[in-house]
Amino acid sequence: MFYLTIDILGTIAFAISGVLVAMDKKLDLFGVFIIAFVTAVGGGTLRDMLIGNTPVAWMQDSIYTFTILGAVIFAILLQERLRYLRKSLFLFDTIGIGLYTMVGIDKGLQAELIPIMCIALGTITACFGGVIRDILCNEIPVIFRKEIYATACILGGGSYFLLTRLPIIDEYSFVASIIVVIGIRLLAVKYKIALPNIYRNKSA
């Protein structure tokens, strides 16, 4: 139940971030739902296909579809309030990657993958829904810019495996790692920490 709750919270966070992007692009109601849907389940779908867990999770359990639908309705009804919060998209997206990183790692552990593969699976789960969302909305995906995004997922996932070596209840390690991902992302944006730019400015 604990892990399902984390999964559902991640679904809600990413669905709302998808709605915010879609409304910013002035898409119609169907477009808003599609963007919210692919944002919420895109990473998880790729994850499940990679580990051979088919039909993928959202096809096996209708709770994901109804959760996304509820999140879409919620975001549309409160769109004016959300627009006043200028950083709503950033916050929901950040919460989403924190939750989904650990959901992906849990799926990797269930598939008996080694830690580094679990971290990769967690990063894919967290990031690729947003990649699909941005591509469909004609934006350069955040993961491909110099912002700290996937790096936060990797560091948070690594912290989980370090914490599991300590005498700590697994659920506490799980939650702590989610906080690490969210914290790194928030601090990186606040203090403008970014990955090095490989391009050199050419003088005329």
The model's pLDDT over 178-193, given as tens digits with 9 standing for 90+, comes to: 999 999 999 998 898 8
Confidence of residue 201 (pLDDT cuts 50, 70, 90): low
What are the φ and ψ backbone dihedral angles of 194, each rounded to 5 degrees? -140, 165
pLDDT for position 84: 62
- Determine whether 198 is exposed, middle or buried from the number of CB atoms within 10 Å of its CB (0-12, 13-18, 19+): exposed
Measured in whole angstroms, how far is the alpha carbon of residue 183 from the centre of its chain? Answer: 14
Q: What is the mean pLDDT of the chain?
A: 91
pLDDT digits (tens, 9 = 90+) for 130-174: 999 999 999 999 888 767 999 999 999 999 999 999 999 999 999
Look at residue 1 and tell me whether its pLDDT is greater than 90: no
Evaluate the CA torsion angle 178, 181, 182, 187 in order and state its sign.
positive
The ranges assigned to domains in the chain are: 2-190
Look at residue 72 and tell me whether its pLDDT is greater than 80: yes
Give the pTM: 0.91
pLDDT for position 96: 95
Widest pairwise Cα distance in the chain: 61
What are the φ and ψ backbone dihedral angles of 147, each rounded to 5 degrees? -65, 150
Q: Please name which of 163, 155, 147, 157 lies closest in space to residue 195, comparing C-alpha atoms.
A: 147
User: Torsion-angle region of residue 52: left (phi > 0), alpha (psi -120 to 50) or beta?
Assistant: left
- Token pair recorded at residue 113: 């993958």
